[in-house]
Amino acid sequence: MAVDLNLVSVFLAVAEAKSFRGAAERLGVTRPAVSQAIRRMEDRMGVALVQRTTRSVRLTEAGVKLHQRVAPAIAEVELALDTAQDRDAKPTGQLRLAVSSIAERFICGPLLASFMHAHPGVQIDITVTDEEFDIVAEGYDAGVRLGEVIAQDMIAVPVSGDQRQMVVAAPSYLERFGTPSHPTELSQHCCIGWRPAPETAPYRWEFEEDGREFDVAVNPRITTNDMWVMVRTACAGGGLTFGMEETFRPYIGRGELVPLLEAYCPPFSGFFLYFADRRNLSPKLRALIDHVRYRPPSDGRRGRFKS
């Protein structure tokens, strides 16, 4: 079937705006034109993509699957076209990045150093924060977070491969209090938990069993917003803690910490550099996106492009 990219663009606009009116305003066309384009696309494909009511528009199951497959591909094409423009414009100025605390190691270190060497005219200001906010409204150029918590209207480029969270404890703790064999036994142990801010509840530890996801409220004896307090306390035998495998790997390698309940800790999509608009990117942000896209993640695996 011949591909009409104009119809695909209309479909994506409807999927993202969740209304024909919003899609029409975004595309600069009339609402009937949007409706006719969607109808032509559905007729050509022989399947309904959008369910229309007098009050709302939502994608059918076929529409959801099409959007999941097409949106990343179109984002790649548009980003490539943007990148091809203004190649002679040297990246200059300050880039403001909001980076979650557990993602800090993926944007700092070799990746960041090599970018700064390649683009000496760019200065980078990094705020490490676990607060959820609109990066555009707060004046940030981009952010780095886990893919699963990035808003769907953002464009995201992987900076790591898949990640995994795990439970760890020091050998001295396990010798005294035993080793849990299932996540439900964690309530019987002294746990060291994480919270993003004083007024928020501690993070619930997440697991998976037989394809079913579940979480456990461990009622931690110690709670903090500092991962290194958690690591140091766990290494000292203070209890079990939960976090990213990448964080614990050096301590596991030295025998200071032991991984637990690994069968219940599957991998998931990793960290992404995300930004608000793929059009008219500044040369400095485009340079960072290019650097991230064409540099293998730290674990050697390519992540997936997310739209």
**Helix, strand, coil shares, percent, the chain, to 5:** 40, 20, 40
Average pLDDT over residues 85-110: 78
Structure tokens at 85: 């423009």
Tell me how long the chain is.
Answer: 307
C-alpha dist (Å) from residue 33 to 18, 20, 192? 16, 9, 57
Phi and psi at residue 25, to the nearest 5°: -65, -40
Asked whether the predicted pLDDT for residue 303 surpasses 80, the reply is no
Q: Which has the closest alpha carbon to 303: 157, 181, 197?
A: 157
- Contact between 167 and 241 under an 8 Å Cβ cutoff? The reply is yes
Residue 204, classed as helix, strand or coil, is: coil
Average pLDDT over residues 116-136: 88
Q: Say what the pTM is.
A: 0.60
Segment 33-73, tens digit of pLDDT? 888 999 999 888 889 999 877 667 888 989 888 888 888 88
Q: Which of 100-104, 136-140, 218-222 has the highest mean pLDDT?
A: 218-222
**Which amino acid belongs to residue 42?**
E
Cβ neighbours of 61 (radius 10 Å): 11
- Contact between 1 and 42 under an 8 Å Cβ cutoff? The reply is no
Cβ neighbours of 259 (radius 10 Å): 15
Residue with tokens 């695909």, as numbered in its chain: 8
- Contact between 286 and 275 under an 8 Å Cβ cutoff? The reply is no
Q: How far apart are CA 291 and CA 288, in angstroms?
A: 5
Average pLDDT over residues 87-116: 81
pLDDT confidence of residue 197: 77
- Contact between 268 and 162 under an 8 Å Cβ cutoff? The reply is yes
Q: How far apart are CA 290 and CA 98, in angstroms?
A: 18
Mean pLDDT, the chain, integer: 84
Q: Which of 17-21, 223-227, 230-234, 294-298 has the highest mean pLDDT?
A: 230-234
**Which amino acid belongs to residue 136?**
V
pLDDT confidence of residue 144: 92
Residue with tokens 């606009």, as numbered in its chain: 13
pLDDT confidence of residue 182: 96
Q: Which has the closest alpha carbon to 206: 264, 251, 142?
A: 264
pLDDT-derived band at 2 (thresholds 50, 70, 90) equals low
pLDDT confidence of residue 302: 37
C-alpha dist (Å) from residue 185 to 69, 182, 202, 215, 218? 40, 6, 18, 12, 9
pLDDT confidence of residue 230: 94
Segment 229-272, tens digit of pLDDT? 999 999 999 999 999 998 899 999 999 999 999 999 988 888 88
For 125-145, b where at least 16 C-beta lie within 10 A, e where not — what string? ebeeebeeeebeeeebbbbbb
Average pLDDT over residues 278-304: 68
pLDDT-derived band at 180 (thresholds 50, 70, 90) equals very high
Angle, vertex CA 60, rays to CA 62 and CA 25, nearest 5: 110
pLDDT-derived band at 300 (thresholds 50, 70, 90) equals very low
Asked whether the predicted pLDDT for residue 183 surpasses 60, the reply is yes
